[in-house]
Amino acid sequence: MTLIVSDLASEHERLVKAGLSVGEIVVGDFASFAQLKDPDGNTVVLAEPK
């Protein structure tokens, strides 16, 4: 599942402070991404388009 966010850095920080294990932010040509797992082990991608 991919969720589009308007401020990836803030969402990343908020989730880490809440105790979630979130991967590093990866900057691509068209968007920045970070990944985490939901409780069932599914990958969730947070994306901020440029």
Instruction: Calculate the CA 39 to chain-centre distance.
Output: 15
Residue 43, H or E segment: strand 43-49
Predicted local distance difference test score (pLDDT) of residue 15:
97
Predicted local distance difference test score (pLDDT) of residue 36:
97
CATH 3.30.720.110, domain 2-49, yes or no? yes
* Chain segment 3-49, per-residue pLDDT in tens: 999 999 999 999 999 999 999 999 999 999 999 999 999 999 999 99
DSSP state string for 20-39: --BPPPEE-SSEEEEEEE-T
CB 46 within 8 A of CB 3: yes
Entry pTM: 0.90
Contacts of 23 (CB under 8 A, 6+ apart): 34, 35, 36
